[in-house]
Amino acid sequence: MEPGVLVLVFVLVSGLNNLVICERPAVVNVGAVLTYDSFIGGVAKAAIEAAVADVNSNKSVLGGTRLNLIMENSNCSVFVGSLGAFSVLEKQAIAIIGPQSSAVAHMISSISNGLQIPLISFAATDPTLSSLEYPFFLRTTHSDSYQMAAVADVIDYYGWRRVIAIFVDDDYGRNGIYYLDDELAKKMSKIYKIALPVKATRDKILDVLQKSRMIGPRVYVVHVTPDSGLEIFSAARDLQMLTEEYVWLATDWLSTTLDTSESISRNSLGYLQGVVGFRQYVPQSNEKDAFVSRWNELNKEGLVNFKLNTYGFYAYDTVWAVAHAINDFLNESGNVTFSSNSKLPTSKGKMQLGKLKTFDGGSLLHKKLLSLKFTGLSGPVQFDSDNNLINGIYEIINVNGSMVHTVGYWSNYLGLSISIPESSYRNGQRNLSFNQVLDRIVWPGGKTEKPQGWVVANNEKPLRIGVPFRASYLEFVTVTNKSNIVNVSGYCIDVFKAIIKIIPYDVSYQFVPFGNGRSNPNYDELVGMVAEDVIDAAIGDIAIVTNRTKIVDFTQPYISTGLVILASIKSIKSNAWVFLRPFTMGMWCMTGAFFFLIGVVIWMLEHRVNSAFRGPPKRQCITMFLFSFSTPFQSQQEDTLSTLGRFVMMVWLFLLMVITSSYTASLTSFLTVQQLSSPIKGFDSLIASNQPIGYQVGSFAQSYLIYGLNVHPSRLVSLGSPEAYEVALQRGPKNGGVVAIVDELPYVEIFLSKRSGFGIVGQPFTRSGWGFAFPRDSPLAIDMSRAMLNLSENGELQKIHKKWFCKTNCVTQTSTSSDPNQLHVSSFWGLFLVCGIATFISLLLFLIRAIRQFIQFNRKQRDPASSYGQSSKGCSHSIYKFFSFIDEKEEVIKNMFKKQQNSSQPQNS
């Protein structure tokens, strides 16, 4: 044969071989693992079969290739479901639809990963199936992470802070409730989890519900399977737990049950009155209506045993999604091939694992599934990055009588709304500013008012209220025990009882004394008992401090308080020298100096012109002294004649007027208000004194002094009663007592109202209040805080305070760290400065004028024999002459100038 002919034959053979290889397969196997006799599986089986028939009848979908459906019944068993998956895979199925159970889905996902077979579930809602552990798992329904966010939003919308979740203890139930826990934690709400076995008996359900009533919350979230969920509500009805004080929320299992079961008549919904449920939203469309009509015909003909539910739509769309993806896959790859898996052992049993093969195009088919984008009966079919359907919408339904009403919607991008969210699906974060609102809901018992959602206590289990069994200051809390009957009274108890009356629901409680009554208890231990759930609350004179707020919640403070210093004092109201106290020593010295200065200056200015300021030296000194010091008390006898003297007196009298009026006001204060003195002047002097400090037993003052102020513990002395306070302060630090006591203001007020000789020194160095302690996130703490504010606004809280604290005396003695009424130089330095400047200027002008006169007189002096004209070569003599000159009266000086002027003129001849 010629070489050219051989080449031609080779080309023809190769082309025919490629044509055979690229030819689309006539049949593609697709598996399905379901539970045939369940609400979801029964509907899904019929919907999947209908979808396969529709796909095979439409030649344009797969281009002539036919889907061969291989179905296996899992019987809601992980083991049986796994065997069913192996049976399907042995027949070389390239995709598995289902399963409906999340627990079965976990197992089959591991198998599909190993053989690279895409697993597409229409009902497995466990959020953890979206993890990276299962890359070949896709979900054509919505993850429970969406649904739990919707449940949490409804709970937060109505303001409930504690809920009880009842769930089936499998992957579906546990993981869904864990996601609900996370969502509620974001909203500062707490969840109590109660698990039920997968196939719980009625006795077990009754026992669980009975125990749940003792927890306190009355908001229940039920997350179970559709086939057994109604048994929980039936048991709750028997226990009278479907009354007006309860709230029942059911996940989408309830809507599935109500939509599917033929046996549930509308009249039998009575015991579900007020239950709120969730349903995955399926938008209205012509295709949906046509399928519903088709289903109803099948139901009438007896070909299906269940009514259609939302999972039927998702199952139908899943088949179409698989068909579209297979078509895209075949268009790209051309054929379906499998490879042997060397990791699988061979066996001689009935199941030959060696027959299981890896799908060569599994990754490509998975990729084609993720890239799908079409609209099915259930709405848009498109996957997000977590292999889930994009943005989910839930209907919120309410059972009212024999009807089920839609009261609102929830979407993961808009939250709650009363109308259907916009149909345009978009990725992005939720718009939390959206006006979230729901339609009117009829709650259990037939009421439309929102239930409280919390029963604090009842007669079966009253609230355990811890109260301090004090040994002193019984005005706050007094505990008496007569004939085994505990009676509790006091200021704090009256406040608590007044608040209980305002709260809009009944609270049964009993007081539990804490302490022995012989010494004051430790309040940190009392608060710790609340945190450890030994007691349900603690009331009394409990200070709200940082370390306590870390473990419990407090109400609003009902009285303001803080640590103050109590010390022994002595009265200085009656004192022979009290008239000196208005001025400080510096002020007295400054005022005396100006009295002397003004006297000297006025004498100098008036000496030459005023005969009252002349005479013998002794008389002039007396006049100078008396003139200045008598000005504040009487009109002086000596008048000032010189202009400069009058100017100085004007400024001086203004200064005296201000100082005198201030002195009078200050002295009045000293004489009318009792002042207290103590060796301790305040916080700083107490810490620096290095002397013993007393504190009340059980008070937080001890830890504050040690850890907050770094006071050595050896300096602290515990005192248990007001009598011990009095004795310790009277003895003082030198006789085994204390220099001062640090305690909270209300205790000190009561102590001072009954005893004298003591007082508060300095200012309070902490600011806090007293409140009632409750466990973390307790709704009762919030309600009591609101009621306490109401008491404060209407004046009732003040009346209770007066009843206990103002029986005899409400005035607290106080000593400050200094004398606030004393007048300092700094308060008048401006006036002293003005007066000093005016005096200096006047004296300077006087000296300039006198020196000028003296110089003129010396120049005109001609007579050397004159007593005024004697020349002197010494400076001292000139100074003496100057003082002698200015000592003369002004008239004498003027006469001397006239004589000099007359003697200097020439006589007429």
Distance separating alpha carbons of residues 455 and 461, to the nearest angstrom = 10
User: Which SS3 state, helix, strand or coil, does residue 619 take?
Assistant: helix
Which of these, 719, 724, 695, 720, lies nearest to 709 by C-alpha position? 695
CB burial class (10 A; 0-12, 13-18, 19+) of residue 908?
exposed
Instruction: Give the CA angle between residues 804, 810, 816 to the nearest 5°.
Output: 135
DSSP string, 97-137: E--S-HHHHHHHHHHHHHHT--EEESS---GGGGSTT-TTE
Give me 828's structure tokens: 């008048």
Contact status, residue 530 vs residue 774, Cβ threshold 8 Å: yes
Distance separating alpha carbons of residues 510 and 506, to the nearest angstrom = 13
What region does 35 belong to: left with phi over 0, alpha with psi -120 to 50, or beta?
beta
pLDDT of residue 366: 92
- Tally Cβ neighbours within 10 Å of residue 800: 20
- pTM equals 0.67
Query: What's the distance, CA 364 to chain centroid?
Result: 51
pLDDT of residue 652: 82
Distance separating alpha carbons of residues 149 and 392, to the nearest angstrom = 11
- Residues in CB range of 817: below 8 A, 6 or more apart: 681, 682, 685, 761, 762
In the chain, the amino acid numbered 711 is V
Distance separating alpha carbons of residues 757 and 569, to the nearest angstrom = 5
Distance separating alpha carbons of residues 473 and 490, to the nearest angstrom = 10
Instruction: Give the CA angle between residues 228, 229, 230 to the nearest 5°.
Output: 100
pLDDT of residue 844: 87
Give me 540's structure tokens: 């009394």
Which of these, 721, 704, 722, lies nearest to 713 by C-alpha position? 704
pLDDT of residue 684: 81
Residues of the chain with pLDDT under 70: 1-22, 262-268, 341-354, 422-436, 570-575, 607, 610-615, 628, 632-639, 671-678, 806-821, 857, 859-909
User: Which SS3 state, helix, strand or coil, does residue 691 take?
Assistant: coil
Contact status, residue 521 vs residue 473, Cβ threshold 8 Å: no
What letter would DSSP give residue 735?
G
- Tally Cβ neighbours within 10 Å of residue 171: 20
User: Which SS3 state, helix, strand or coil, does residue 376 take?
Assistant: strand
Q: 331-337, long-range: CB within 8 Å, 24+ apart, which pairs?
A: 331/63, 332/364, 332/368, 333/361, 333/364, 334/21, 334/22, 334/23, 334/24, 335/21, 335/22, 335/23, 335/24, 335/25, 336/25, 336/28, 336/92, 336/94, 336/361, 337/361
Distance separating alpha carbons of residues 549 and 552, to the nearest angstrom = 5
CB burial class (10 A; 0-12, 13-18, 19+) of residue 517?
middle
pLDDT of residue 136: 92
Q: Is the link from the previous residue into 99 a cis peptide, with omega within 30 of 0? A: yes
Dihedral of CA atoms 32, 38, 39, 43 in degrees, nearest 10, equals: 30
Dihedral of CA atoms 808, 811, 817, 818 in degrees, nearest 10, equals: -120
Distance separating alpha carbons of residues 753 and 810, to the nearest angstrom = 7
Contact status, residue 716 vs residue 702, Cβ threshold 8 Å: yes
